[in-house]
Structure 1
Amino acid sequence: PSALPAASAFSDGRYVVTLASDSMAEYDGSLPGLPQLKTAPGGGVDVTQRAAVDYRARLLQEQTDVARSAGVQPLQRYTVALNGFSAALSAAQAQKLAGQPGVLSVVPDSVRHLDTTATPDYLGLTGNQGVWAATGGVAKAGAGVVVGVLDSGLWPEHPSVAGKPLGSAPTAGAPYTAYRTASGTVVQRRNDGGTFRGTCETGAGWTAANCSTKVVGARAFGEGYLAANGGVAGLGQYEFLSARDGDGHGTHTATTAVGLNGVPATIDKAGYGKTSGMAPAASLAVYKVCWSAAPGGDDGCMTSDIVGAIDAAIADGVDVINYSVGGGPATTVNDPVELAFLSAASAGIFVSASAGNSGPGASTLDHASPWLTTVAAATAVPREGTVLLGDGTKLVGARLVQQPLGSRDLVLSSAVAVAGKPAADVANCIAGTLSAQAKGKIVVCNRGVSDRVAKSAEVARVGGAGMVLVNPTPNSVDADAHTVPTVHLDTRAGERVKAYIAATAKPTAQFQVGSTTVRSTPTPQIAGFSSRGPTAATDGDVLKPDIAGPGVGVIAGVAPGPNRGNLFGSLSGTSMSAPHIAGLAALYFGVNPRWSPMAVKSAMMTTSRALVNADGSENRNPFDGGAGFVDPTKMLNPGLVYDSAAPDWVAFLEGAGIQTGTGVEAVDPSDLNQASIAVGSLAGEQTVTRSVTSTTAGLFNATATVPGFDVRVTPSVLVFNAPGETKKFTVTFTRTTAEQEEWATGSLTWRGANLSVRSPIALKPIPVVAPDQVTGTGTAGSTDVTVTSGVSGDLPVTTAGLAAGSTGEGDLAPGADDQYRVEIAEGTTLARFDVRAGDPLSDLDLGLFRLAADGTAEQVAVSATASADELIDVLAPEAGTYVVQVAGYAAAPGKASAPYELTSYAVTPDTTEGDLTVDPNPVPVTAGEPATFSLGWSGLEPGTRYLGWMTFGDSPTPTVIAID
């Protein structure tokens, strides 16, 4: 027998002992004199047949023999679905049985619950005391609310979105039941008094009958995608030129948000309980914007299609939008999609957007706009399995299928590889890399390159018995529907498996059901893949993500084509967490139909609960999960809410340096009234302003703390005489010991009678806030410069330059370009390339390339806006030969070409023209207060442009000096 597990793995208690021999349902007729058992009418085993009676007796005798060997009395016996028994065992008896030949597992008889997607129960929606019951029951959970899902479409026959055929007139006594007008418009009254008017577009695989009282709209937006990807011929095998889902992602997000309650879920014939969306009574409008491609193509969603869908959703009158689509780390909040969502939010639509799956690195987060809710992904109820190594070590990982696997030889994929295959491909179990030597063995495969389930398919292809999937670098562990029994382990556990194999002559392993260790897995933990803040957009003055929701191992509907015929699947990602929040918003609107999107967002954020780390300790890092993990049991009674609307967002954009052309006065982005506080550049001291609106009368006291800062809330007590009152307050942050250039995080909490309203805070202290560039004109002159220091005392100013620019002229026809070779010397601290068009209505682009020794060119920077002028700055460029490319994109109307001037600068220690002066220097400063000094220059050549820079104290960030 294999080595016994450590005694500490067991304690006295009740256990289920599973034996390795086949149960009656599994028996294949391999024993002499015992044929395969017949099935009964309607399915199952006919236990009355002679062979079944004989086989059952054999199993009972085996169980008796095993129990007697350890001095154990069986309590319950199992022979049909399982071969085993339950028993009360001492720790010593459990240890003895676990080491017995023929014993597959000894598992504590723990309490289990019926599964839905696991999340409705986990979130407190179900049961007599749950949120659904408290708000009118499942039949009213989101009734009269329409959720628009921008995704890959919907499988309309899915039982989770089953509805009744649409009538031709409103249904008496059912105010929120949709109907179809004579013109074909699907109409549904909303519970806020408005009306949804949807379109049921027909197309490949989608007829008018596929819309229903549940699915009230279906539209496909693919013009941009088809144009960029070869038209209809470029679509994938399972794709449809309609709103029908050819991928499964859209069906998954839709059913997570608004799927019907109590729908049984089966994956590969295994049952996983009953599923439900967050708002099962809400209606669904489908906006297909994402498409799957033929082999060699690029799956995706085009910006043009997405914006068109948002436009349609607003016009149709949806209440909520789910957007589980990303474009990489956000660097701005004014791209077309984000601005389209600003319009949606202005129309009263709650937008839930996925944070992205590029974690766990910092500043990887997508969707930084404050008018939408950016959702991180966390674990909820874990779906787990245990890898029991031959030396007794137990390692818990993710596992969907809850069936044991007996002891098998354990091998690295490299030990069973096809000769000549690349080592990296073998380690990742890429298709075609494993040999028949894997037959009957458990194979260890690395995560990466290919799909996780494709790896188990490769193991199955060569007859492998199971797979241990390990993360070579930190990431999530995911419970997938694998082809062979699989447990997915994290990086640390994977290293222990590999170390065990390396140190053991004949390594073995077996899989046990669930976690058979003495310690339960803490939840909710932020998923490794979930993208993190801080966001680079708006210089960090918006704290993202906003909130976390369940996003790991979520079981919901899928499209059968690309999913082995299954109607359900287990998926992980922030794509899965976002529709949880969208559905909960629909549930919220079902109770408070006239609340604003930001009020609902605030209610969710300020009532959320703490995430946890792997060791069970509290994780309040707002860059991981925002305000925390959503708590529906508290969100409907927030006490206070932070609200904002379109004029506030436009003022925010102006304050972020984004010209809106509206004439709205700018505000500091940190002052936008939201349920979080972020200051990306805090010099010494800064005061932010907020206002809160009460949902209940009462008194609220403020407490606030950020390590390394003195925090003062004024006033610190707010008294509300009735719901609906709004009061303003300020929060002043004064740096004390916080590290410069490092983020410090904390919170502000308003506490009332049995209420706690918590907002996360993130602050980044910096030595000085200074302008990016100072400009001047003339051969001699001066200009005032204002800075804000983070400390009091004297602030020294260091200058470099001025360096004269070298200017040349050109004239480009559209589509043509000019190239200039430039040598950048060693020690250059700043290089600038500045193109100014002769006509402001023309459009020029600018690129910078560095030449390698072999003559190849590497792009260093590009500036290709829609404006006439372009500019590239490079700090401390590497010495070498560069090529500056000026490209003519468009000439001014009526002109055949675009004239321009190109000026090149290189600031080095030797460039000291202009006699730069700073008066006074050092500059007397008081922490947190503006200070002004004079920057002067003289002796410059007429008609020449000059460039330099200056820095302040220890700050490494320069302010550019440009003199024309």
Structure 2
Amino acid sequence: MGNKGCQLLPIMVAVFLLSLSFMCGFSSAVADQETELMNELSEAILEEDVAIEESDHLQTYIVHVKRTHRRVFTKSDGLESWYESFLPVATASSNRKQRIVYSYRNVLNGFAAKLTAQEVKAMEEKDGFVSARPQRILPLHTTHSPSFLGLHQELGFWKGSNYGKGVIIGVLDTGLFPDHPSFSDEGLPPPPAKWKGKCDFNWTSCNNKIIGARNFDSGAEAVPPIDEEGHGTHTASTAAGNFVPNADALGNANGTAVGMAPFAHLAIYKVCSEFGCADTDILAALDTAIEDGVDVLSLSLGGGSAPFFADSIALGAFSAIQKGIFVSCSAGNSGPLNGSLSNEAPWILTVGASTIDRKIMATATLGNGEEFDGESLFQPSDFPSTLLPLVYAGANGNASSALCAPESLKDVDVAGKVVVCDRGGGIGRIAKGQEVKDAGGAAMILTNDELNGFSTLVDAHVLPATHVSYAAGLKIKSYIKSDSAPTATIVFKGTIIGVPTAPEVTSFSSRGPSLESPGILKPDIIGPGVSILAAWPFPLENDTTSKPTFNVISGTSMSCPHLSGIAALIKSAHPDWSPAAIKSAIITTADLHNLENKPIIDETFQPADLFATGAGHVNPSAANDPGLIYDLEPDDYIPYLCGLGYTDEEVGLIVNRTLKCSEESSIPEAQLNYPSFSIALGPSSGTYSRTVTNVGAANSSYSVQILAPSGVEVSVNPDKLEFTEVNQKITYMVSFSRTSAGGEGGKPFAQGFLKWVSDSHSVRSPISVMFE
């Protein structure tokens, strides 16, 4: 890819803001969960940043410097002195330390500092200076999901992995509400001896569950990392919340709330607020988490595609895997458009979002007898079943009214009526209902746009409401036009378990291909991310109980901690496995079919492609026993990075040391020992190798099975693998050649699978082919 990602800051910021990865709105009481809302917030942030820059002329920069060989830094003050030497000479000594925001020790050689553009220019002349760039603000990207994933108490993998006991999950998010029962330490031992972190909550809040808590939000380290948004509490409890019986949200989704690794420890790093997440803070938190001794890092945040050397999460994650730390990140909420995902680096597990087999159903019933099933968390028991007048808010031709934007219904007669509102337009779904309520409407039917198709979401609406599909919306609007006095009501049917089409890929889940490295298939995996119940810091609208609060929200922010917790379970069961080994086990054992044994579908109700599903839907129990793994050491990524066309300096920024690509064996992307294949195929054939490691029975035999992509011939040599011992490695070659001008129907992409099958294992690698 070369240096194509080196863009001017405004362009890069724009790309990042277009790839939003947080499905939750910013309200202290309710999560609006709407990605579009972040656009307005992001614009406000940019305007504020411009105003600050114009008035103060100072901006926070991330500065990379060379590692000095003349000194060995044993104390942070020595390192800080070295970094301070790069500051302008004219800066008063008393102000020099104030200029340094962070001194990084692990994630990169360098620091974050408040500088003017002129000062950065002058710094370029200093010996040891490498580069500097302004910080970026990145957006933030369960009672039933454990059983849906096959995790059952006192049985199988969950019990065998000891529920993640002894593993430390570091969560970078909006902080935590520590007094929630999900963070009880009942049944947990003290943290392992390797733990070096600290907990900045008061002594009654820190326990054997919450062993670490630090605040890096804009450098506010002295302030406890209390969650004021809800997002961090929700993601942390999804990853590792303890068992909480009799949990529900507004009386729905009843059951025992529990995270994926309920006996794992949690280390909380607050890096985000309602305004987003500064990448200087993210780097500082990653730097600290690596030093603290975490085993798994979970980041439900990210920006758009960027070169890995300019991507703070990629930089920090590479330093983490060098220390054996597994990194799980959300793919983003910019779907269903292709090329929309975040966190593309191959050393990161990139997670898309899928549904579970639970719906909280609310059915729109029309005066002509038609019924359309939708969803809503708020299920009022006293809403009348009698038909009410039905109106489409956009019938006046006003686009703002159609979206039920703030103040848009003032002059629309909605009093006492069921109001149809269109989804989108940068207005949160719950906010639309608030506008209907304020205007006197009795209820809301929220209809999808065409892009979101059949994907609906559960929300804690402020009035009786239901969210229905695009197809349903068209029929409802057609009825309104055809009837002189249209009527409707909403029938609330509560929690429904066993939806046969689950898991489905939801519309908002970001899609591949990776823009920065198309030779690596992304996302890697999908996991539960739609209508997930987990801990919440404050009461919801319409909540009349005094029980601990849970909320049901959606986003790849929710799917990411599911995979973080599952990685912790695997780490607990296999403490000697590398991050790449854990990732391989997750990818090669994924499910391709839904509960009715049909291919996983997307928001169009058609089979989802690999750019939506990655390898498929996570299967935790199968991932614990994969048979074979595709392993990688950190240095194995260097030939791959050199093959991307990065300069020596750019590769050095990623791997955190000086090197020369001319002295390394550069490889094409598809040659990386990754557990999937993403091939660009022209007239000539391409041949790539893979090395598998036997982690199953010592004596085992595997035969290859191939489902070739349409228009492609795939051959494997050897076609049989014979193992005689555990951890034995065997290399095989795969050749790809074209048999037609394109895939099925002349499409530019085609997909298939390669499987190694033994008597007890099936090790599947997805194949994506782009025709050149």
TM-score (norm 2): 0.73
Matched, 1:177 2:159: no
- Of 372, 380, 384, the residue aligned with 2:356 is 380
Question: Using the alignment, how far apart are the partners of 2:409 and 2:603 within structure 1?
Answer: 37
Instruction: State the partner residue of 1:494.
Output: 473
Question: Using the alignment, how far apart are the partners of 1:507 and 1:330 within structure 2?
Answer: 51
* AA aligned opposite 2:501: P
Q: 1:728 to 1:445 in 2, by over 3 A?
A: same
Residue 372 of structure 1: CA displacement? 0.8
Matched, 1:710 2:713: yes
- Correspondence 1:28-177 to 2 at 5 A: 116-127=142-153, 129-133=155-159, 135=160, 140-163=162-185, 177=189
1:258–1:277 Cα contact (<8 Å) kept: yes
- Of 416, 419, 422, the residue aligned with 1:440 is 416
- Greater strand share, structure number: 1
- Of 196, 199, 207, the residue aligned with 2:202 is 207
Question: Using the alignment, how far apart are the partners of 1:685 and 1:714 within structure 2?
Answer: 15
2:181–2:244 Cα contact (<8 Å) kept: no
1:553–1:570 Cα contact (<8 Å) kept: yes
User: What are the Cα deviations for residues 216-265 of structure 1, in whole angstroms up to 9, with x where unaligned?
Assistant: 000111236x8xxxxx9xxxxxxx94311111111110000000113433
Residue 502 of structure 1: CA displacement? 0.9
* AA aligned opposite 1:465: A
Q: 1:507 to 1:555 in 2, by over 3 A?
A: same
Q: 1:541 to 1:275 in 2, by over 3 A?
A: same
1:321–1:352 Cα contact (<8 Å) kept: yes
Question: Using the alignment, how far apart are the partners of 2:561 and 2:347 within structure 1?
Answer: 17
Question: Using the alignment, how far apart are the partners of 1:688 and 1:758 within structure 2?
Answer: 17
User: Secondary structure of 2:386's match?
Assistant: strand
Q: 1:765 to 1:432 in 2, by over 3 A?
A: closer
Question: Using the alignment, how far apart are the partners of 1:518 and 1:593 within structure 2?
Answer: 35
- Correspondence 1:756-775 to 2 at 5 A: 756-766=762-772
Q: 1:330 to 1:522 in 2, by over 3 A?
A: farther
* AA aligned opposite 1:710: E
CA-atom RMSD, angstroms?
A: 2.8
Residue 340 of structure 1: CA displacement? 1.4
- Of 499, 523, 529, the residue aligned with 1:545 is 523
User: Secondary structure of 1:411's match?
Assistant: strand
2:353–2:530 Cα contact (<8 Å) kept: yes
Matched, 1:477 2:456: yes
Question: Using the alignment, how far apart are the partners of 1:682 and 1:207 within structure 2?
Answer: 61
Residue 126 of structure 1: CA displacement? 1.6
Instruction: State the partner residue of 2:644.
Output: 656
Residue 440 of structure 1: CA displacement? 2.8
Question: Using the alignment, how far apart are the partners of 1:317 and 1:756 within structure 2?
Answer: 34
Question: Using the alignment, how far apart are the partners of 2:286 and 2:561 within structure 1?
Answer: 16
Question: Using the alignment, how far apart are the partners of 1:316 and 1:627 within structure 2?
Answer: 32
Q: 1:408 to 1:415 in 2, by over 3 A?
A: farther
Residue 746 of structure 1: CA displacement? 1.0
Question: Using the alignment, how far apart are the partners of 2:551 and 2:585 within structure 1?
Answer: 31
Matched, 1:395 2:372: yes
- Of 730, 747, 754, the residue aligned with 1:748 is 754
Residue 682 of structure 1: CA displacement? 4.1
Q: 1:507 to 1:129 in 2, by over 3 A?
A: farther
Q: 1:130 to 1:119 in 2, by over 3 A?
A: farther
Q: How many residues align?
A: 596
Residue 761 of structure 1: CA displacement? 0.9
Matched, 1:558 2:532: no
2:225–2:270 Cα contact (<8 Å) kept: yes
* AA aligned opposite 1:524: P
- Of 254, 261, 264, the residue aligned with 1:272 is 254
- Of 347, 351, 356, the residue aligned with 1:371 is 347
1:330–1:365 Cα contact (<8 Å) kept: no
User: What are the Cα deviations for residues 667-724 of structure 1, in whole angstroms up to 9, with x where unaligned?
Assistant: 2221111110112354421001101111223111112212111100110100111221
User: Secondary structure of 2:164's match?
Assistant: coil
Question: Using the alignment, how far apart are the partners of 1:518 and 1:634 within structure 2?
Answer: 23
User: What are the Cα deviations for residues 818-837 of structure 1, in whole angstroms up to 9, with x where unaligned?
Assistant: xxxxxxxxxxxxxxxxxxxx
Instruction: State the partner residue of 1:726.
Output: 729
User: Secondary structure of 2:665's match?
Assistant: coil
Q: 1:451 to 1:687 in 2, by over 3 A?
A: same
User: What are the Cα deviations for residues 364-403 of structure 1, in whole angstroms up to 9, with x where unaligned?
Assistant: 0111100010000011123233222222222122222455
1:352–1:375 Cα contact (<8 Å) kept: yes
Matched, 1:626 2:614: yes
1:407–1:508 Cα contact (<8 Å) kept: no
* AA aligned opposite 1:364: S
- Correspondence 1:402-801 to 2 at 5 A: 402=379, 405=383, 406-414=385-393, 423-435=398-410, 437-448=413-424, 449-475=426-452, 476-514=455-493, 522-538=501-517, 540-560=518-538, 567-610=549-592, 612-613=600-601, 619=607, 621-658=609-646, 659=648, 660=651, 661-663=658-660, 664-680=664-680, 682-697=682-697, 698-704=700-706, 705-739=708-742, 742-766=748-772
Question: Using the alignment, how far apart are the partners of 2:592 and 2:309 within structure 1?
Answer: 28
Question: Using the alignment, how far apart are the partners of 1:455 and 1:656 within structure 2?
Answer: 45
Question: Using the alignment, how far apart are the partners of 1:489 and 1:616 within structure 2?
Answer: 14
Residue 506 of structure 1: CA displacement? 2.1
1:388–1:394 Cα contact (<8 Å) kept: yes
Question: Using the alignment, how far apart are the partners of 1:756 and 1:585 within structure 2?
Answer: 20
Residue 423 of structure 1: CA displacement? 1.9
User: Secondary structure of 2:269's match?
Assistant: strand
1:707–1:738 Cα contact (<8 Å) kept: no
1:522–1:615 Cα contact (<8 Å) kept: no
Q: 1:407 to 1:516 in 2, by over 3 A?
A: farther
- Of 324, 328, 338, the residue aligned with 1:348 is 324
Identity percentage over the alignment?
38
Instruction: State the partner residue of 2:85.
Output: none
Instruction: State the partner residue of 2:10.
Output: none
User: Secondary structure of 2:726's match?
Assistant: coil
2:681–2:737 Cα contact (<8 Å) kept: no
Residue 490 of structure 1: CA displacement? 1.7
Instruction: State the partner residue of 1:828.
Output: none
Question: Using the alignment, how far apart are the partners of 1:517 and 1:495 within structure 2?
Answer: 25
User: What are the Cα deviations for residues 124-179 of structure 1, in whole angstroms up to 9, with x where unaligned?
Assistant: 1025645324x16xxx3000000000011001111101237xxxxxxxxx9x733x
* AA aligned opposite 1:692: V
Question: Using the alignment, how far apart are the partners of 2:224 and 2:683 within structure 1?
Answer: 54
Question: Using the alignment, how far apart are the partners of 2:238 and 2:497 within structure 1?
Answer: 32
User: Over alpha carbons, which structure has the higher Rg?
Assistant: 1
Question: Using the alignment, how far apart are the partners of 2:327 and 2:575 within structure 1?
Answer: 15
TM-score (norm 1): 0.59
Residue 665 of structure 1: CA displacement? 2.5
Q: 1:561 to 1:665 in 2, by over 3 A?
A: farther
Q: 1:560 to 1:683 in 2, by over 3 A?
A: farther
Q: Structure 2: any 5+ residue segments left out of the alignment? A: 1-141, 594-599, 652-657
2:250–2:377 Cα contact (<8 Å) kept: no
Question: Using the alignment, how far apart are the partners of 2:485 and 2:498 within structure 1?
Answer: 29
User: Secondary structure of 1:458's match?
Assistant: helix
Question: Using the alignment, how far apart are the partners of 2:281 and 2:681 within structure 1?
Answer: 36
**Which structure's relative contact order is higher, taking Cα pairs within 8 Å and 6+ residues apart?**
2
Question: Using the alignment, how far apart are the partners of 1:315 and 1:450 within structure 2?
Answer: 41
- Of 296, 302, 305, the residue aligned with 2:281 is 305
Matched, 1:256 2:251: no
